[in-house]
């Protein structure tokens, strides 16, 4: 089990009620923007279906498309590296840095590098890494991890950012003006861009037929880093491949609208080959993805384009905050991807869901997210990663539901106990459900008894 489980970490987050409400409302606002943007496109559902089918097809032919991509990229003068896991990914990057005598780099947003804990690894090896996405830089200065894959500092308010910049960038104490703070960050980051001879970016889409790739940002930081530096390393998971350049028209239309409600990401930059005298490297990473591909119930989670629409709509995510998921990718999709990486450490996450299905409804590539969360619960229970108490309780419930007479008896006994010994239900240790809830008044009768009585009375009246 992880050091802090989701429920416990969520408890800490919701202790600040005002912040929790603000977090919830802000993300719901983004979800509503997504709805408006989706409604502006006639055939939005057809577009989702097309994206889903392209990804299904690609996953079924992943080996071929990866080989095609590698061949085209190499022909374009790109140096292609393959990494089996996060450790290998980090070592490849360190080797490139050492070979080129580089000790300072800039990095734009890449959830893969978060997953591989690249910053930590490079820091331990004496490399200075500066995250250049504004939200990521804020959390990096605070020694935190991103809490959201598109809005990494969404758990923070402008007052928190002001305090952080005052401490690390020397801005005026108490000046919370977003324009002032953004300009301070800009000045600070420009220096880092100029000082760094190497830039790392993620990859949103890699096109097999061209060997090129696309990086999407709203701040232009990936472009500035990659163009100012002599060496550009792009890190991508194997699932980022799409077959043809024309498929980009489908995914780019879906991505920005699903993520933030924008018609298109501000910068969607296409990279194909290194500029004269410069180096372009691509590191293609597996890190458990082929294992997930081999799990029939979970393979289509690899269709994810990391838009975070499922985060913004999820009532549990909005109320519990991204750090409560204790993984690089939080939210509903993170709760599907992370048990594949470490079942024991992430066994709590598929239970952090109401299974309402809102995530599946908004997913632009039609991943059946809530079904997969439900299926993970079954796998984790079978594999023995669920507490004995929970397993016994659910076993008991299953037995009771399968025996109607016992179910009715338990209902009657429960109502009698609630009426005569209500204090028993309020012992917090025995009944955590009521820690933050009022106990309802016990009903006079069960629905079953009410139904039988009313049905009989109705019949008598009509005879
Ligand atoms: S699972 Fe779907 S909704 Fe969630 S981040 Fe991935 S693509 Fe977006």
**Average pLDDT along the chain:** 95
CA of 330 to the centre of ligand 1 (A): 11
The mean pLDDT value for 226-231 works out to 97
Q: Which atom of ligand 1 is nearest to the CA of 259?
A: 8
Q: What is the pLDDT of residue 274?
A: 97
CB neighbours (10 Å) of residue 243?
Answer: 17
CA of 333 to the centre of ligand 1 (A): 6
CA of 367 to the centre of ligand 1 (A): 7
User: What residue owns the CA closest to ligand 1's atom 8?
Assistant: 307
Pairing mode of beta strands 79-83, 279-285? parallel
pLDDT digits (tens, 9 = 90+) for 144-180: 999 999 999 999 999 999 999 999 999 999 999 999 9
Strand partners, 105: 129, 198
User: What residue owns the CA closest to ligand 1's atom 7?
Assistant: 304
Dihedral, CA of residue 212, residue 249, residue 302 and residue 198, to nearest 10:
30
Q: Going along 56-161, which residue ranges are E strands?
A: 79-83, 104-107, 128-131
Q: What is the pLDDT of residue 3?
A: 57
Q: What is the pLDDT of residue 223?
A: 96
Cβ 237 vs Cβ 305: under 8 Å = no
Cβ 302 vs Cβ 293: under 8 Å = yes
Residue showing tokens 């890494």: 129
pLDDT digits (tens, 9 = 90+) for 40-97: 999 999 999 999 999 999 999 999 999 999 999 999 999 999 999 999 999 999 999 9
Burial class (CB in 10 A: 0-12, 13-18, 19+), 33: middle
The mean pLDDT value for 285-294 works out to 98
Give CA–CA dist 377/380, Å, rounded. 5
Q: Which atom of ligand 1 is nearest to the CA of 336?
A: 1
CA of 150 to the centre of ligand 1 (A): 11
The mean pLDDT value for 416-432 works out to 82
pLDDT digits (tens, 9 = 90+) for 299-353: 999 999 999 999 999 999 999 999 999 999 999 999 999 999 999 999 999 999 9
CB neighbours (10 Å) of residue 290?
Answer: 14
CA of 365 to the centre of ligand 1 (A): 7
φ and ψ at 342, to 5 degrees? -155, 100
pTM for the model? 0.91
Probe target for ligand 1 pocket from 308, 335, 366, with the most ligand atoms within 8 Å of CB: 308
CA of 309 to the centre of ligand 1 (A): 6
Probe target for ligand 1 pocket from 307, 335, 373, with the most ligand atoms within 8 Å of CB: 307
Probe target for ligand 1 pocket from 52, 358, 364, with the most ligand atoms within 8 Å of CB: 364
Q: Which helix (H) or strand (E) holds 31?
A: helix 17-39
Enumerate residues 6+ apart whose C-beta is below 8 A from 453.
Answer: 445
Q: Which atom of ligand 1 is nearest to the CA of 359?
A: 3
φ and ψ at 119, to 5 degrees? -55, -45
CA of 254 to the centre of ligand 1 (A): 11
Cβ 106 vs Cβ 132: under 8 Å = yes
CA of 111 to the centre of ligand 1 (A): 13
| Ligand 1 first shell, C-beta below 6 A | 258, 304-310, 333, 362-365, 367, 369
Residue showing tokens 């959201």: 148
Cβ 359 vs Cβ 281: under 8 Å = no
Probe target for ligand 1 pocket from 310, 316, 318, 325, with the most ligand atoms within 8 Å of CB: 310
Q: Which helix (H) or strand (E) holds 221?
A: helix 221-228
Helices (H), 61-157: 62-75, 86-99, 111-115, 118-124, 134-141
User: What residue owns the CA closest to ligand 1's atom 6?
Assistant: 304
Residue showing tokens 């077959």: 243
């Amino acid at each position: 089990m992880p050091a802090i489980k989701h429920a416990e970490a969520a408890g800490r987050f919701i202790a600040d009620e005002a912040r929790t409400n603000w977090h919830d409302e802000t993300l719901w606002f983004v979800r509503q923007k997504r709805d408006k943007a989706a409604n502006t496109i006639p055939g939005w559902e057809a577009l989702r279906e097309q994206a889903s089918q392209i990804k299904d097809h690609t996953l079924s032919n992943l080996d071929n498309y990866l080989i095609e991509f590698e061949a085209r990229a190499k022909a374009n003068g790109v140096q292609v590296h393959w990494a089996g896991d996060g450790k290998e990914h980090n070592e490849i990057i360190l080797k490139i840095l050492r070979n080129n005598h580089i000790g300072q780099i800039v990095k734009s947003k890449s959830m893969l590098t978060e997953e591989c804990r690249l910053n930590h690894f490079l820091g331990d090896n004496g490399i200075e890494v500066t995250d250049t996405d504004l939200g990521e830089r804020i959390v990096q200065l605070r020694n935190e991890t991103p809490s959201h894959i598109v809005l990494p500092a969404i758990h923070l308010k402008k007052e928190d950012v002001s305090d952080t910049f005052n401490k690390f960038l020397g801005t005026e104490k108490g000046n919370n003006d977003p324009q002032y703070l953004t300009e301070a960050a800009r000045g600070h980051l420009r220096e880092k861009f100029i000082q760094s001879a190497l830039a790392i970016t993620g990859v949103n889409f890699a096109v097999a037929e061209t060997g090129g790739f696309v990086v999407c940002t709203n701040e232009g930081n990936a472009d500035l880093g990659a163009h100012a530096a002599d060496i550009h390393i792009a890190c991508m998971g194997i699932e980022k491949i799409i077959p043809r350049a024309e498929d980009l028209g489908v995914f780019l239309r879906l991505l920005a609208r699903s993520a933030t409600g924008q018609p298109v990401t501000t910068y969607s930059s296409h990279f194909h080959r290194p500029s004269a005298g410069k180096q372009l490297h691509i590191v293609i990473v597996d890190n458990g993805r082929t294992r997930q591909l081999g799990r029939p119930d979970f393979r289509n989670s690899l269709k994810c384009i990391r838009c975070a629409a499922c985060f913004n709509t999820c009532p549990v995510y909005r109320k519990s905050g991204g750090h409560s998921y204790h993984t690089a990718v939080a939210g509903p999709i993170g709760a599907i991807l992370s048990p594949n990486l470490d079942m024991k450490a992430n066994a709590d996450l598929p239970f952090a869901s109401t299974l309402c299905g809102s995530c599946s409804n908004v997913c632009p590539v039609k991943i059946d997210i809530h079904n997969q969360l439900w299926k993970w619960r079954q796998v984790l229970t079978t594999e023995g990663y669920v507490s004995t108490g929970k397993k016994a309780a659910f076993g008991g419930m299953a037995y009771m539901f399968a025996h109607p007479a016992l179910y009715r008896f338990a209902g009657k006994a429960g109502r009698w106990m609630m009426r005569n010994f209500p204090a028993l239900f309020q012992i917090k240790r025995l009944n955590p459900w009521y820690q933050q809830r009022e106990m309802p008044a016990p009903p006079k009768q069960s629905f079953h008894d009410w139904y039988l009585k009313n049905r009989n009375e109705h019949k008598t009246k009509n005879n």
